[in-house]
Amino acid sequence: MPAIILFIRIARRVLRALVATGTLFLDGQARRAFPWRYVRRLPRESFAVAVLLLTLTGSLLTALAAFVVPDQQAGTKLAGTSITIAAVGILSGGLRQLRLWWRIRR
């Protein structure tokens, strides 16, 4: 039972984050005030952000390819590849956070 509650809490947090992001990008005034130069420069300055951006892009492209490919077996393999790439991105972000946490604790 606790695993179900944890899953629901995580799903709610992800949904709230997606709604907040969508609201931010639909608001024209907030979109114009966003620091776009900084956002465009960030992947070149931070290796961790570049890795996360590459894994996000790779997982999205392979997931879309899995839907488009007519062969069911190839689509299943592409979907598995997409999940693997997404897991690498999540783990790299978690490792970065862990490293920052350890740095703060010392």
Same domain (yes/no): 53, 87: yes
The pTM of the whole model exceeds 0.75:
no
Same domain (yes/no): 48, 26: no
pLDDT at 1: 64
How many other CB atoms are there within 10 angstroms of residue 93's CB atom? 15
How many Cα neighbours within 13 Å face the side chain of 82? 16
Each residue of 18-50: pLDDT tens digit?
A: 899 899 889 888 888 888 899 899 889 988 889
Q: Can you read off the two tokens belonging to residue 58?
A: 């790779």
Same domain (yes/no): 12, 55: no
Residue 12 has pLDDT above 90, yes or no: yes
How many domains are there within the chain? 2
Residue 15 has pLDDT above 90, yes or no: yes
pLDDT at 48: 86
Same domain (yes/no): 50, 28: no
Alpha helices in the chain (DSSP H): 2-26, 28-33, 36-45, 47-68, 72-105
Per-residue exposure over 2-19, b if at least 16 CB sit within 10 Å of its own CB, e if not: eeeeeeeeeeeeeeeeee
Q: What residues make up the domain containing 56?
A: 42-106
Same domain (yes/no): 79, 46: yes
> Taking all residues of the chain, what is their mean pLDDT, rounded to a whole number?
89
Same domain (yes/no): 76, 102: yes
Same domain (yes/no): 24, 71: no
pLDDT at 34: 83
Same domain (yes/no): 16, 49: no
Same domain (yes/no): 6, 46: no
Residue with tokens 């990008």: 25
Q: Is 83 exposed, middle or buried (0-12, 13-18, 19+ CB in 10 A)?
A: middle
Same domain (yes/no): 30, 53: no
User: Could you give the CA distance from residue 65 to residue 78 in angstroms, rounded to a whole number?
Assistant: 7
